[in-house]
Every structure is written in structure tokens, then in C-alpha cells.
Chain A
Amino acid sequence: MGRYVARRLLLTIPVLIGASFLIFAMVYALPGDPIRALAGDRPLSPAVQAALRDEYNLDDPLWLQYAKYVWGLLQLDFGTDFSGREVWDIIERRLPVTAKLALAAVIFEALIGLAAGILAGIRRGSFFDNLVLVTTTLIVSIPVFVLGFVAQYLFGLRIPIFPTSGIRDGWYSYLLPGLVLASLSLAYVARLTRTSLAENLRQDYVRTARAKGLKPSVVIGKHTLRNSLIPVVTFIGADIGALMGGAIVTETIFNIPGLGRAVYDAVLRQEGAVVVGIVTLFVFFYIFFNLVVDILYALLDPRIRYD
């Protein structure tokens, strides 16, 4: 197990280098002149433009820009955005916000999604099963920004039980956006759990367990669920990686200063260092949470061994 984890972690190094270079190249390939765009309709003297280009190495060829960036990285310098703000500062400030939002979403996703899925799976064809089917279909088909605005309007403005925006009320501020962010995945988790559980309940080993006279709670909780959860855990794990990548729409609607919005703005402004720094971080999270999922497999399914 330890060797397996070590090997996987070592593998992330070439992936991160490759990913960062690709992202860097993509930002570099964006057409246009970011410095000219900074000034907008206003004039910017050629001398000032030249000074800015020089500061951000924009006149260098791609490989040299990347080399300078990596050289900075080795000295723990993540570069700055066009207003001189350290990229590391941006990450330091916004990562906790994104992490909290992602955590809130995952909790909702797991708790509500799993509960609904398990109940529906056990009582196939019941009223509750149908209810889950209908509501999840509905949620999946509504775009998240509509859901966000409706939730904000209903629970922020009409019945003001949640703050309409911002993170000024601590954890409480994350509940409503977290729920909105979780809604889509929550629906998937519920359906995945239901299907997986329903399928496994028909398996021979379940019949055997029942025939042995085990209590229904043990049959489902210990035998069936453990097998049924593998696809669900895969989904949630991959989803955490995605959620850590920021949620531009939700962050925008609820005015949450997370990473998603930061990287979106940086792409628009062609701020290479910011995009590369943050997106590489996203890649790392994605790899990391996938590793966690793979390790969880072994715990869930004794048949899986990594050594």
C-alpha cells in the first residue's frame, strides 16, 4: 500500500510539469495584447507599455517565459498578476473559501444524495422512489444559474433565512451556495446509489445472506452497500476534485471570492502566471482526490489489493 501511494505521488510530478506547460502555452497562444487591453479606451504611452511588457516578460518567446516562470517557482516565487499582486497571495486568500464551499457541497451531496438513493433503492417502485426519480430529473435539467438565482431570491430575499451573498457570516454563508453547488451532483449520487443498490440486491450473495437469516440491516448495511458504494465513491471523489476547481457560476451569483472566479478573470486578462499557478493547483487536487478514491476502494472492497 505504502509503495503504491508513493508511486502514485511520484507520478504526479511529470503530470504537473506537463500540465503547467500546456496551460502556459495555451495562455500564451491567446490572441491579442493584454497590456493594450489593460488601458482600454484610454491612451497608454509606449514607454509605459514597454515597461509593463518587460516586467511580465511578455516580449520573450514562450520557452523563455516558461523557463523564467519555473525558475521563479524553484525559488517559491509564483509570480504576480498585472496589478502586482502575488499569485501565492491570491491562492492563500481564496483557497480556504473555495475549500469551504466545496466541503459544504460535498457534505450535502453525500448526506442527502446517499440517503435518498439508499431509501429509493430499498423500496423500488414505492412512492418515495418515484419522488426521487422526479426531483432528481428536475434538478439535473435545470441549469445551475437558474437554481442559484431562484434559491437566492426565495431564501435570501423572500424568506430571509440565509444571507443573499458574501461570506461575512462565516460558515452559515456557505450553506445556501453549497446546496446550490451540490444540487446537480446530489441528484447524480442519488440515482447512482439507487441503481447500484437495486442491482446488487438481486445478486446471489444477497440472497444467500438473507437465506442465512441475517438481519435486513446487516444484509443491506454490511454486504450490499459496501459493494454498491464503489461507483458512488468514485463519483464523489472525482467530484471533489472538480469542486475544488472552483465554481464560477455559483461563486458569481453568491459573490463568493473563491478560486474559480479568480482564474476566470485571469484568463480574460491573459495573466499567465495566475492561470498557470491556480490551474496547476486544480490539477494537483484532482490527482490527489483520485488517489484517495483508489485507496478507499481497497477499504470498501477486500478483493482489491494494491501490493
Chain B
Amino acid sequence: MRLSKRSAALVASGLSGAMLLSACGGGDDDGGSASGGGEGGSFSIYIGEPENPLIPGNTNETEGGQVVDSLWTGLVEYDPDNNEAVYTGVAESIESDDQQTWTVTLKDGWTFHDGSPVNAQSFIDAWNYVAYSPNAQGNSYFFANIAGYENLQAPTDPATGEPTGEPPAATEMSGLRIIDDLTFEVELATPYAQWPTTTGYTAFFPMPQVFFDDVEAFGEQPVGNGPFQAEEPFVPGQGITLTRYEEYGGERPANADAVEYRVYTEINTAYTDLQGGSLDIVDQVPPDAIASVAEEFGDRYIENPRGDITSLGFPTYDARFADPNVRKAFSMAIDREAITEAIFLGTRTPAASFVSPVVNGYREDACDVCELNVEEANRLLDEAGFDRSQPVDLWFNAGAGHEEWMQAIGNQLRENLGVEYQLRGDLQFAEYLPLQDAQGMTGPFRSGWIMDYPVMENFLGPLYSTSALPPGGSNSVFYSNPAFDQALAEGNAADTDEAAIEAYQTAEDILISDLPAAPLFYGVIQGAHSEDVTNVVIDAFGRIDAAAVEVVQ
């Protein structure tokens, strides 16, 4: 039961900035004993209900990820300005001569919130646990490129793809080797020069011994190594309050004494609370407030590009869309600018590349067929002999707000190409995704991707490489081109960043000439905060750096 837009507008509209000056009470300041200086205080952040227990290996959505990120610090961290990996995390260095065998050296002195040390074993045990398929951890696939990963997967029948019921052959990846207490070696199955950058992601966080003793209890009240610690368990439906970890090993300890992550089921309610002063930070804005939020919050409004992309995937397995020229024609018939302005009100930006602007190697105008060019589009479509009398199906998953813009795309196709369309947006994810995996899309479909780590390759390999074909991967357009795979592999094995990016750009060019999907938009993160906090930074993952937030006393 989604709440209607009109009703929410009653709340959002007509609010003047002046009335916000009233009422700053309401907010609970439990745990907020100021500790002198410019530090201390407590604040609250909006989150949605996390989908899983707060275990890094099983957290791959932003809600739980927000909390997990405050509780942990990984091997590397990402610079919020340019999204490059910086060694302010647990790793002193991650080095390799051949881009395949990496030596990770840890800094001394890091501890978990229970006092136990963070050492090489904490990483290796955690990674093996996540990779081991019977543990059913959602982030398991992040370790797929470590040597020996396949031996931790329950065997499947090669003919049917069904599991045979046998346990995996091993419980530890052969590619992980301990050198000493603070050093370990990671051997990858194939060279990957960007590997160090990936280790800042949630999946790679270390785990203390208490986790393996009682996984269930741990998920309620996790013990990490981050700037904040959980002194009380997470309360489903309500949230969790974290307090500053005084023994934090990193360079940037938390400024505030405590942060409350408060669970809301509806962003509208959180926004109302922010307006009323009982909530401090939101990292989303309800659709009805998008037009007014910038004016209402002034310099307390935050806008930042999100590391994601929305594309129109083509069923390359469908005879109608097998010809790249048809796909290019469709891409050139879409006026992305008009849709981002009229429907998204600037909360998306038009895409002319397969990668997001937040990563290194992005080229503003990489895709020449991603701009409106009606004449050329029609020429290509004629050349390909496309049957315009048959309507095309436009697929998207239901209940996620895709109908409006898909319809706009349909209208543009009708107007610019003279092709009728039919919206196929009745299926929820539970039906939509299996259909996608089974090559059931009968026309162009919505395809979304949020980056796992800020590397150009992450926008290419997982979506379009041969090894990412379903059911194991997200290559739902069923694109497979050896030249593309080869270029990616070259980039992965390159020994300098420049060489890697060059190869990735070559791969992207191949993708553009084949155009298995038409890049459409990039996301924009919108957030706002109360007058009680400053220094609120939201990164390209949409996560708030809770440690950096300062409470105005």
C-alpha cells in the first residue's frame, strides 16, 4: 500500500522556513553526555529497515550498510571527494608485483570493540566465512576472484544446475595465506589491478572471534572495529544507538558521542520529523519534496552524485533486437535530458557513458549514440528493416516508481520512431528477475546498477562480461563478446592505473559499438540535515559519514 503522492504533498507543501525555527525538542538525547571541547553530543539518522542482520558479509543494501559502515573500518577507505582508495583504514599497504598475488600489511594497534586485536586471521576467517556457500551470505560473490573460491561452493549438477546436496570441497580459500600476525597474502584466480580498491567494501570487513561463536546474537549486536560501537542490540522496526569507540584505531575517530539510526517505514514521515526537529539527517527526500527541499533547507541541503546507472537493457537474444543498429536507433530516439528534467526534476542526470562520473576513467561523451538524434535513429531503423507495425514491450519491475519514466520513454519512441509500445510493469522483483534470467524479456527493459566499489570495471564486468551471465551474474542482456572480455582482462592485468583505464575504455568502446543496453541516467543523492549538526557528508554510495558529523552544542 503505497501512500498517494497527493496526501504526502499536504505535508510537504506550504512549509515555510520560518516555522522550522520553532520546536527543536522532541529529539531524544539519550547517551548524549557531552564530553567537553567541540566534541560530543548525539544525533539521529534516518534509515529504512535493514533487510538482514547487521553482518557485513550479508549486508548489501544501503540501510543496514549505513549502520555497518559506522561499526566497521575496512582495509582501505574511500576519499569522499574523488572516490579513490586511501590507506586510512586497517591496511598499511596492499602491494603486488604481478597484480595477482597481493600482500596485505596491517597497521598495528587496531582492536575490535570487545578489545580483541584486529589481525590477519580476523580478515581471513571473515572472508572464508562469507565465501562458503552454505553460510548463504549475500556478499559471497565478492570473493569469486580469489583462488580456491569455487571449492567453497556447494557442487551443482552440471546438467541441471541443481545442487547435488554435497557439501563444498573446502572451507578455506587456498588463495588466502597468513604470513604473520599482521601480514597475509591474497592470490587471485586472474590478475586484477584494482583489487586493493575493492577491499573498502562492506564484504571485506574483518570479524572478531565472538562472531564465529554466536552468529545470531552477533547480528543483533555486532562487534566491529569502527569509530562507533553497539552497546545495545538493534531493535527491529525501531533502530539502534551507537556510541563512540574510544580505542578506535583509525585517524578519524567519531566527533559525536552517539548516533541513533532510526528506522522509518516511510521517508515522508522521516522528512516530517526532520522538519519538526526530532530527526537530524535524512539521505533521501520524498518525491513530493524534491522541488522544495533545496529552498527550504538552504545550506543544510546536500546534493551529491550517486555511483549508479540506470539503463535500458535490450534482449539481445530476441531476434528483433539482435541487430546493434536497432538498439542504437532506440537509444538515439530517447531524449534523456527531457526525462531527467520533467519527470525526475533534476534528481537524475542524463548518461552518455556506461560508467558513472564518480569513477576514474569516466568520459563525458563516450557514447555518441546516447544523444537524441531522430533522423539518424530512423535511418538506422530502416536500414535494419525493423518492423514498426509491431508494438514493443517495455519491461520494468512493479512498485518501484518506474512506470512514469518508462512511459515517457515509450512516448518518445512512438513519437520519434513511429513504434507503438506496451508497458509490461506488473511483475514484482520475485517474478521479474527470474524471468529476466530465463531470457523472458520480450522487449527493452529497465536495468539498474549501483556500484560495489568505485572502480570503472565495476560498471562493465559484472553487467556485460561473459562470466557474468545469469544465473550466477547480472548480465541480464545476455551480451557476450570475446573482444570485450579480452579488453577487460587486459585492464585487470595492467600494472598501472593509466594502462588499466585505457583498456577499460577500449572495452567500453566495444560495448558502445554493440550497445547491448542504452545508458539512460545517473542518480543524484539528495539529503538534508537539521540545524543541530554540521559537517554532514554523503558519499557516492549514499552513505553518511557518521564519524565526521559534528553536533552543534
Residues of A within 8 A of B (CB): 30-34, 36-52, 54-55, 83-85, 89-90, 93-94, 143, 145-146, 149-150, 152-153, 156-158, 160, 163-168, 248-249, 251-255, 257, 261-262, 264-265, 268, 270
User: In whole angstroms, how far apart are the Cα atoms of A296 and B50 in the complex?
Assistant: 44
Name the one of A37, A46, A54 contacting B428, with C-beta atoms under 8 angstroms: A37
User: In whole angstroms, how far apart are the Cα atoms of A114 and B472 in the complex?
Assistant: 62
Beyond A48-B137, A84-B216, A257-B238: 19 further Cβ-contacts under 8 Å?
A: A36-B437, A37-B428, A37-B429, A40-B61, A43-B468, A47-B133, A48-B141, A51-B134, A83-B219, A143-B7, A153-B11, A153-B272, A160-B25, A164-B26, A164-B276, A165-B270, A167-B238, A252-B269, A253-B266
User: In whole angstroms, how far apart are the Cα atoms of A45 and B132 in the complex?
Assistant: 11
A195 to chain B, nearest CB (A): 31
Give 16 A-B contacts (CB < 8 Å), ordered by A residue: A41-B449, A43-B474, A45-B133, A45-B140, A49-B471, A51-B134, A52-B136, A55-B136, A163-B26, A165-B270, A165-B272, A166-B238, A166-B273, A255-B264, A261-B237, A262-B237
User: In whole angstroms, how far apart are the Cα atoms of A50 and B141 in the complex?
Assistant: 14
Of the listed stretches B153-161, B292-300, B357-365, B375-383, chain A binds B153-161
User: In whole angstroms, how far apart are the Cα atoms of A115 and B471 in the complex?
Assistant: 63
CB–CB A249/B1 < 8 A: yes
B214 to chain A, nearest CB (A): 12
CB–CB B11/A84 < 8 A: no
Q: What are the residues of chain A within 8 A of B270 when measuring CB–CB?
A: 165, 255
CB–CB B269/A164 < 8 A: yes
CB–CB B448/A166 < 8 A: no
CB–CB A32/B161 < 8 A: no
CB–CB A149/B7 < 8 A: yes
CB–CB B51/A38 < 8 A: yes
CB within 8 Å: A-B pair count: 187
User: In whole angstroms, how far apart are the Cα atoms of A215 and B61 in the complex?
Assistant: 69
Chain A facing B: main interface SS: helix
Considering the complex, give the chain A residue whose CB is closest to the CB of B446.
A41
Q: Given A32-B434, A83-B52, A168-B28, are A157 and B10 also a contact pair (CB < 8 Å)?
A: no
CB–CB A45/B26 < 8 A: no
Considering the complex, give the chain A residue whose CB is closest to the CB of B152.
A47
User: In whole angstroms, how far apart are the Cα atoms of A49 and B60 in the complex?
Assistant: 15
Residues of B within 8 A of A (CB): 1, 3-4, 7-8, 10-11, 15, 19, 22-23, 25-26, 28, 49-53, 60-61, 133-138, 140-141, 144, 153-154, 156, 161-163, 168, 216, 219, 235-238, 262-266, 268-270, 272-273, 275-276, 278, 427-434, 437, 447-450, 462, 468, 471-474
Considering the complex, give the chain A residue whose CB is closest to the CB of B133.
A47
CB–CB B237/A32 < 8 A: no
CB–CB B434/A36 < 8 A: yes
Considering the complex, give the chain A residue whose CB is closest to the CB of B49.
A265
Q: What are the residues of chain A within 8 A of B138 when measuring CB–CB?
A: 38-39, 42, 44, 48
A51 to chain B, nearest CB (A): 4
Q: What are the residues of chain A within 8 A of B266 when measuring CB–CB?
A: 252-253, 255
Q: What are the residues of chain B within 8 A of A44 when measuring CB–CB?
A: 138, 141
Q: Given A45-B144, A262-B237, are A83 and B4 also a contact pair (CB < 8 Å)?
A: no
- 7 shortest A-B CB distances, which residue pairs? A257-B237, A32-B430, A47-B133, A32-B431, A37-B430, A47-B153, A50-B163
Q: Given A38-B138, A45-B144, A84-B53, are A252 and B22 also a contact pair (CB < 8 Å)?
A: no
